[in-house]
Amino acid sequence: MKKMYLALILFLVFATSAFAKVNINSASADELATLNGIGKAKAEAIVAYRAANGNFASIEDLAKVKGVGGKIIEKIKEEITVSE
């Protein structure tokens, strides 16, 4: 019985984290690299852009980062947020 409860708790933890949106204003390069179409180089470019220019006001502002275009933004827009 304990194993069943443990399995349920682990499932809920992983399910919750799988649906959590990545905040592009606070995520690390490693977190950003988990997004579809964003590899290590683009993730580092996002972090560098954010450090130089401040937080993103909208998801569409990601297009200002070199290498991140409309197609990538369209792919990941349901997975990201810009909330504080």
pLDDT, tens digit (0-9, with 9 covering 90-100), for 10-33: 666 555 555 689 999 999 999 999
What CATH number is given to the structural domain containing 69?
1.10.150.280
pTM above 0.95, yes or no: no
Mean pLDDT score of the chain, rounded to an integer?
88
The single residue listed with the structure tokens 């792919």 is 75
**CA neighbours closer than 13 Å in the CB half-sphere of residue 14:** 6
How many domains in the chain?
1
Give dist(CA 2, CA 24) in Å, integer. Answer: 38
| Domain enclosing residue 66, as ranges | 2-81
